[in-house]
Every structure is written in structure tokens, then in C-alpha cells.
Structure 1
Amino acid sequence: MQQDVAQHLVVSNDSEQALIHWLTLNQVPRFGVSRWLKFHDKYNMSLAALLSSSAKDLEGFGFNQQQVTAIKKPDNEYVDSSLRWLNDNEQRFLIHFTHSKYPYLLKQISSPPPLIFGYGRKDLLSNPQIAMVGSRNPTPQGKENAKRFAHTLSEHGFLVTSGLAMGVDGFSHQGALIGGRSTIAVLGTAIDKMYPRRHIKLAEDILVNDGVIISEFSPNTPSRPENFPRRNRIISGLSLGVLVVEAAIKSGSLITARYALEQNREVLAIPGNIQNKLAAGCNLLIQQGAKLVTCLEDVLEEFPTICQVVESSFKDKLQKNSSQSLASDKLLDSVDFEVTPLDIVAQRSGIEVTDVMSKLLEYELRGLVTSVPGGYIKLGEK
């Protein structure tokens, strides 16, 4: 029923007044989008009409005293502060459930957020996405897998969505950003409180590369431990599928996988050594029916129709960008077809060693070079 009603309400209202109505509704305890849709289906009443109803009528509809008070005497400072935050910077956005830019897939889950606070390009929220999640303390192989899969998925036109947390989340965002592509981060904190603090630079890089950072929590919302598992439903809800890179059995990543199953999303997992506790969650998911993933093709074959669309859109652009960059690439020219030490590459190209290492990782992912003991070897310009 929710999906039918949601589609019925898709007649968008992007006015500020509609936003104020949703900011008011968001204050009503135990009355989220799901209950609002059921109410609308039963009474065929607009949100504006509901909020202007008398206390007596609201009680007749079944609202308790706490809910009636929240509707009739809303916290106007919450509304005003949210609007001030929105209007303070043109890079910010705030969209409600019936806004034209509210992502379609997120509308289909059982408990979609009434409001999405965000920075960046809100239009990207409806683009094809693959969520990537995993341990906050991954093994070296887990870090490498996160970066490699995120990068190759981005190369094939998918947006990588994750939670900006330490570990696999962060490495997934980093991998997606290689080559200047976009990624989406979903916070478990207030939109104005980037967490963890050490990922503030990563958050800045996401926005510089036309990415998106969102949260369902308004500015100044206190941080609570339970908000982090709660945000996982948004990560999976935005996405076509969830790729679990490396995770223990008791972890937030498996919570995200459970949400994905409930939301009828694909669940995919990278297997690991049976002696590695951080691989136990992935191995369990595979035992329970998740798609075993060892390479990019394992992911892509789960979304053949989507792949045809995104690849046709991105293929020409990627080929053009690749040929233009390689035609005048001093760094790649500085790597020989035999072992070339890193310091020699930096000296020849005139680029700082730290930048050389980052760029060579991108080239390694693209199959242009390979790292070997003592340096790098050029594989050929593909």
C-alpha cells in the first residue's frame, strides 16, 4: 500500500511552505512517513489540512496528547534554525518526502526519512548506486578491496554510497574519488557535525568532486549511538545493492545487509579466510544466499539492465577523458617497462612523491602500471 500511496503523492510541492509543513510533521513523535501515508490513504487529507486541524479533530483521528501538542504548538525555533542553515549556503539543500528531488528508491522503503539535509548535488541521489560497507578496522586486503571495487564501479558509471566512517567506508569513498568521480556519504550525525573528525578532509574532497553528503538529522541534533545503525537503512535504501567488503558477524555492516534484504535490494559479499574474524560476516552472508563476489563482473552481472544504461552514458566520456589525459601524461611517461623506483618516477615527472603514489594507485587500478618490489613497471597504455 505504501508504494501505491507514495506514487499517488508524487505530485511534487517544492515550495518553502511545504518544507515548513514537513519540518513541523517531523516533530510529531511516533508519526513518520509510513504512518502519514496510512493516514492520507484513510482520510484523503493533505498535510496542510492535517496540521491546521483542531485539537479535538486530531484526537478524533487517534492522535495522543503528546502528538496533538507537537502539531498545535510546534517548536518554531527548530523550523527557523533549519531554514537558516539551508539559506546560509547555496551548496546546501533540504528536501522532504514529496519534493521532486527526493530519491525514488528511498521512497519505497518501509521507513523513509521525512527530510534529507545535505550538501552538494541533490540530483545525484537518484542516480544508480552501489552501497559499500565493512569493518572500521579492515585488514590490508580489505582496504585494497574497498578502494579497488569502489574505483572500478565508479569507472562503470555507478555511484558508490557509504557512511564516511573509518575503515572500509572511508576507503570506499577514496577509491570512488580516484579520477575525480563522485560519491555519496550518509552521516549518522547531524548534518553540521562531520564524524569522525579525521574525515573532514575526505568530506571536503567529496564535495570538491561534485559528490553529496546527507543526513536525516537536522543541525545541532545531539549525537546518539543508535543513530548510526538507523542511518544504515538509508545507505541501503538509496542503492540497488549492498556490497559487504569485510565484516565481523556482529557488526553494523550486517545490519545494513539485513536492511537491504528487507528492502528487496541485492546483497553481495567478498569472501575471506575462514581464520579471519573480519571475514566471518561476509562468509556467513554468502552461506545465507548473498552473491559471492571476487571481481567486478560478479557485481555487474546482477544489474544487467542498469549496466547497459550507465555504461552507454559514460563510455564515450571515459574514453575521451582517458585519451586526453594519457596523451600528455608526464607521470606515465616517467615509468619504464622495467622496474622504475618511486623516487626516479617523482624526479622525472617533477611531481611530489605523495602525489605520485596516489596517481600510480589510480593507474594500477586502470591496468596501466603494476607495483613490484623496488618500484613500478609500465604495462602499456590501454
Structure 2
Amino acid sequence: MSMNSIITVKQSHPYYPSRLLDLPDAPQEIYCLGNLEALKIPSLGIVGSRQASKEGMTTASYFANAVVDRGLLVISGLAEGIDSAAHLGALQARPLLSTIAVCGTSLDQCYPSKNQPLFKAIAQQSLLISEYPPGSVTKPYFFRQRNRLIAALSLGILVVEAAVRSGSMTTAKYANDLGREVFAIPNSIHQPQSMGCHQLIKEGAKLVGRPEDIFEELRFFEK
């Protein structure tokens, strides 16, 4: 990967997302690979379990497709499972400027490595971002830190499947603390990946059964 293709976007840069400034620890700069115009499109975060069910993967792709069809952009974290399904669903709906992947590594590497084709597709057709400069040695806490960027950049967060103790729940907490909408999809009580969503709904997240439930909250984007 060409290091020259990675763009540094400082807080003074016209494309630096103002929504990141809602964070008390907003990054002084972010690193971008792809089309910066994606940063100007209002977005919804879609997150969930790495050990997603087949139904969860289908649901994530379906909602991502519907969100992009309404003119928004899908943000997720490039992880296996729900994240990957959300990115793919967005790309299928609109190949160009449809999704942003917020990476928990620097952009001169891809994690997980099996997502290299997806990484390349997003770089070519939309945008990848990271707060870590090229050459950074990845630390486990980078992924938790990444989650706050997903929350800050988004109008709201949709949790498709999540265990009670998971990165997706952390993302939802960041979103709630930032005053973003939090949406959750209920599922079987016998499925561990549903328990986090059920917990969020008990705590006040908006129960979602169809894409229109999201658009009713984000009325500005209704057709």
C-alpha cells in the first residue's frame, strides 16, 4: 500500500469532521484513505457481534442497504461479523461514497487480514479512517478507542447483535453520552448475541424492527 495515498486531516483541515469535536479527547488529526467527500455525508453507525448469526448478518446488510438508499452513509469498524455485513450492504446499495470504516489499526495494515478485499474496496470506493499514524504498533485498547470515533461521527448507532459485555455495548454507551440516538434490534432470548440489544432497550434505546423505525427518529432524512 502506498504511504502517499494516506492523507493526514488535522483539526484545521476543511474536511476534519466537526462532530469529532464533541469528544473531550478528540484526535488532533485523523488519517484517511479514500475519498474525503464521504466525511461530508450524514451517517448512521451499524455495529454488532463478531460472532454474528446468519440472521444477524442478513439483518445488518439489509439495514445498511436501506440506510444508504435514504441518502445516508454507513459507518462501522471493519471487524468480522456484523461490521463486515454492514459495509458490504452499503457498498451493494451504492458503490461510491456509501460507507466509512473506522479502523482500530493504522491504515498501512488491515485487521482482520481476511478483510483485505473489503478494505481495498472501501479504500477505492469510499473511505477508511484511523487516528493512528502509519507504522503504529497496534495495541488492544486501540479498538475500544476506535469505538468512540464511530459514535461521534454518527447521527445514531444501530446495534444489530451484541453480547452484554462487548465492544458494541461500549460504542452504544459512547453514543448515549454524546447525545446520539441509540437503536437496537431484539432477537431470541436464547441467543447470547441478543442479550446486549435487550439490555440497551431496557435502558432506553429505541427498539427497531424495520428501517422506517430509524427514519422516524431521524425525520430530516425522510424522502
User: Do both share a fold (TM > 0.5)?
Assistant: yes
Match of 1:189 among 89, 93, 105: 105
Distance in 1 (CA, whole Å) between partners of 2:123 and 2:192 is 34
Task: Work out whether residues 129 and 161 of structure 1, in 8 Å CA contact, stay in contact via their aligned partners in 2.
Answer: yes
Structure 2 CA distance, aligned partners of 1:136 and 1:225? 16
Give the match for residue 296 of structure 1. Answer: 211
* Aligned mates of 1:101, 1:295 — CA distance in 2: 33
Gapped regions of structure 1 (runs ≥ 5):
1-83, 312-382
Equivalence map 1:297-376=2 (5 Å): 297-305=212-220, 307-308=221-222, 311=223
User: Is residue 39 of structure 2 the alignment partner of residue 95 of structure 1?
Assistant: no
Residue pairs, 1:169-180, within 5 angstroms:
169-179=83-93, 180=95
Does 2:146 correspond to 1:231?
yes
Residues 50-65 of structure 1: matches in 2 within 5 Å? Answer: none
Q: Distance in 1 between matches of 2:12 and 2:108?
A: 24
1:268 corresponding residue in structure 2:
183
Runs of 4+ in 1 over 4 A off after TM superposition: none
1:125 to partner: Cα distance? 1.2
Tell me, yes or no, if the aligned pair for 1:104 and 1:126 is still in contact at 8 Å. Answer: no
Q: Secondary structure at the match of 1:178?
A: helix
Q: For 1:125 and 1:111, how far apart are their aligned partners in 2? A: 19
- Identify the structure with the greater helix proportion: 1
Higher relative contact order (CA 8 A, sep 6+): 2
Matching of residues 142-161 of structure 1 within 5 Å: 142-161=56-75
The structure with the greater share of residues assigned to strand is 2
Residue identity opposite 1:225 in structure 2: P
Equivalent residues in 2 for 1:122-141 (5 A)? 122-141=36-55
1:218 to 133, 138, 154: 133
Matched, 1:104 2:9: no
Scaled by the length of structure 1, the TM-score of the pair is: 0.56
Identity percentage of aligned residues: 40
Structure 2 SS opposite 1:190: coil
Displacement of 1:234 in angstroms is: 0.3
* Number of positions where the alignment pairs a residue of Structure 1 with one of Structure 2: 220
Q: Hey, what's the Cα distance between the residues in 2 that align with 1:197 and 1:157?
A: 30
CA apart distance, 1:244: 0.2
Alpha-carbon displacement from aligned partner over 1:130-179 (angstroms, at most 9, x marks no partner):
00000001111101101100011111111000000000000000000114
Question: Which blocks of at least 5 consecutive residues in structure 2 are unaligned?
Answer: none
Let me know the Cα RMSD of the aligned residues: 1.3
Please give the per-residue CA displacement for 1:212-246, whole angstroms capped at 9, x wherever unaligned: 00000001100110110011000010000000000
Q: Which has the larger radius of gyration?
A: 1
The 1-side partners of 2:194 and 2:210 are apart by: 17
Give the counterpart letter for 2:209 in structure 1.
T
